[in-house]
Amino acid sequence: MTGHAIMDSTQYRIGIGYDIHPLVEGRRLVLGGVTVEYEKGLAGHSDADVLIHALCDALLGALNLGDLGEHFPETEEYRDISSIKILDAVAGMVAGNGYHLVNADCIVHAERPRLAVYRGRMAERMAAALGVDAGVVSVKATRGEGMGPVGEGKAIAAQAVVLVAPLAGK
């Protein structure tokens, strides 16, 4: 490997997260901490924000801290909790372990509603909870093209990949 510096493999950590929830009547739709105008919402114990749940699992996974269900079980304490509060707590765990978010790449899989007008606000809201610039949080959206529960309009899913690095001085 001539000409390339070899970095400590424990310095940077990568995590991936995934979540899916069914769409149901009578719930508001929250994605990335933003209320999205739609006739259905996501079923779940919390506000069922699949985008934040995927991001949290990616952050927890990057540091080998388990998964979201371990830290926020389906108990009365967390019933209908805002996922922004969960993301804030996970951000604290990341910092408490001596790391910070370098960047996050997130994608929402939804046949409907169209999410393009919400993506910027989602990135800003999640970045604020993480204490980072919105420019390091990417939010994209794609459709299921009529296939599977997402494509049939029965569910919304999300994926996230993150890169974390040690805090300065750690």
Q: Distance between CA atoms of 82 and 32, rounded to whole angstroms?
A: 11
Please state, in angstroms and as integers, the Cα–Cα distance from residue 19 to each residue in 44, 76, 165, following that order. Answer: 11, 21, 24
Q: Distance between CA atoms of 94 and 149, rounded to whole angstroms?
A: 33
Q: What is the per-residue pLDDT for 79? A: 85
**Three-class secondary structure assignment of the chain:** CCCCCCCCCCCCEEEEEEEEEEEECCCCEEECCEEECCCCEECCCCCCCHHHHHHHHHHHHHCCCCCHHHHCCCCHHHCCCCHHHHHHHHHHHHHHCCEEEEEEEEEEECCCCCCHHHHHHHHHHHHHHHCCCHHHEEEEEECCCCCHHHHCCCEEEEEEEEEEEECCCC
Q: What is the per-residue pLDDT for 74? A: 83
b/e map 75-87, b = 16+ CB within 10 Å: eeeeeeeebbbbb
pLDDT along the chain (170 residues), means of 10: 51 96 96 97 94 98 94 83 95 96 98 95 97 96 95 97 88
Q: What is the per-residue pLDDT for 73? A: 77
Q: Distance between CA atoms of 37 and 97, rounded to whole angstroms?
A: 37
pTM: 0.91
Q: Is the dihedral of CA 45, 89, 105, 30 positive or negative?
A: positive
Question: Which pair of structure tokens corresponds to residue 17?
Answer: 């997260």
Structural domains of the chain, ranges and CATH numbers in brackets:
13-165 (3.30.1330.50)
Q: What is the per-residue pLDDT for 168? A: 81
Q: What is the per-residue pLDDT for 78? A: 81
Q: What is the per-residue pLDDT for 6? A: 47
Q: What is the per-residue pLDDT for 170? A: 59
Q: What is the per-residue pLDDT for 83? A: 95
Q: What is the per-residue pLDDT for 117? A: 95
Q: Distance between CA atoms of 47 and 157, rounded to whole angstroms?
A: 14
